């Protein structure tokens, strides 16, 4: 279960911490260890929440406490990841293209120099660029049990610690995988990052050969 696009949105949200700015605004996309961007850059992220620019589509205030618990006990993260997925997929609206475009423009304009290569900044831009397929893949549910496919995949990775270079097998051709492949076919022509994913085409070939 390799690759950003399998559970990009959920993995990104789990990456959040409970760090907050002096003004009390959440700072997201931060792992608690990497160097933070400059204050000029951080203000772009803080203002999204402080001014409700996202109309609730980035519910960081609800997600941060749950994400902090995941970091404390990753081995038992399943229920908490499901809680986060519910917040994103069921309780919050999708972000509008206008908000995403404005958000990216503000990041590009104010996060310059060293900020432009900061993990928080590059991760945010990548999520914005791939928002629609990432959200749909992250919110896909297993038709056999109603669980989030992304949560099932993340739990499998946490439990099995697979080799990053592992090759797809027929055992991976689950209903979730087939759903992801359908979304890959739907979105890859429009999203270069998804089209260039090295793993999904291999998985698709294995599953279609059954």
CB-neighbour burial class of residue 51 (10 A; exposed 0-12, middle 13-18, buried 19+): exposed
Looking at residue 34, its pLDDT comes to 60
Looking at residue 33, its pLDDT comes to 54
Half-sphere exposure in the Cβ direction for 148 (13 Å, CA): 27
Per the model's pLDDT, the better-predicted residue between 134 and 33 turns out to be: 134
Give the tens place of pLDDT for each residue, 46-96.
Answer: 888 777 778 888 887 788 788 878 878 877 888 999 999 999 999 999 999
Per the model's pLDDT, the better-predicted residue between 45 and 147 turns out to be: 147
Q: How far apart are CA 72 and CA 67, in angstroms?
A: 9
Q: Is pLDDT of 179 > 50?
A: yes
Q: Any idea where the domains of the chain sit in the sequence?
A: 7-208
Q: How far apart are CA 4 and CA 197, in angstroms?
A: 8
Q: Is pLDDT of 22 > 90?
A: no
pLDDT mean across residues, the chain: 80
Give the tens place of pLDDT for each residue, 134-175.
Answer: 899 999 999 999 999 988 888 887 777 777 778 888 988 999
Q: Is pLDDT of 25 > 60?
A: no
- Looking at the chain, the whole-number percentage of residues with pLDDT higher than 70 is 83
* C-alpha separations of 179 from 2, 98, 108, 141, 176 in Å: 16, 28, 34, 9, 5
Q: What predicted TM-score, i.e. pTM, was given to this entire model?
A: 0.77
Q: Is pLDDT of 210 > 80?
A: no
Give the other-Cβ count within 10 Å of 23's Cβ: 8
Shortest CA distance to 183 belongs to which of 7, 1, 2, 11? 7
């Amino acid at each position: 279960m390799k690759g950003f696009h399998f559970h990009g949105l959920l993995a990104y949200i789990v990456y959040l911490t409970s760090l907050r700015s002096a003004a009390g605004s959440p700072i997201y996309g931060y792992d608690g260890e990497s160097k933070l961007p400059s204050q000029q850059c951080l203000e772009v992220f803080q203002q999204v929440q402080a001014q409700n620019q996202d109309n609730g589509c980035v519910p960081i205030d609800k997600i941060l406490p749950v994400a902090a618990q995941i970091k404390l006990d990753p081995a038992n993260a399943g229920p908490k990841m499901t809680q986060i997925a519910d917040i994103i997929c069921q309780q919050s609206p999708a972000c509008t293209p206008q908000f995403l475009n404005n958000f990216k423009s503000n990041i590009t304009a104010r996060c310059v120099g060293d900020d432009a290569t900061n993990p928080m900044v590059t991760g945010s831009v990548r999520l914005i660029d791939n928002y629609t397929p990432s959200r749909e893949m992250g919110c896909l549910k297993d038709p056999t049990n109603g669980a989030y496919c992304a949560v099932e995949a993340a739990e499998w990775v946490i439990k099995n610690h697979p080799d990053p270079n592992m090759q797809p097998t027929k055992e991976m051709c689950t209903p979730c995988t087939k759903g992801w492949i359908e979304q890959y076919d739907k979105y890859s022509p429009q999203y270069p990052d998804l089209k260039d994913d090295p793993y999904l085409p291999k998985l698709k070939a294995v599953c279609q050969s059954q």
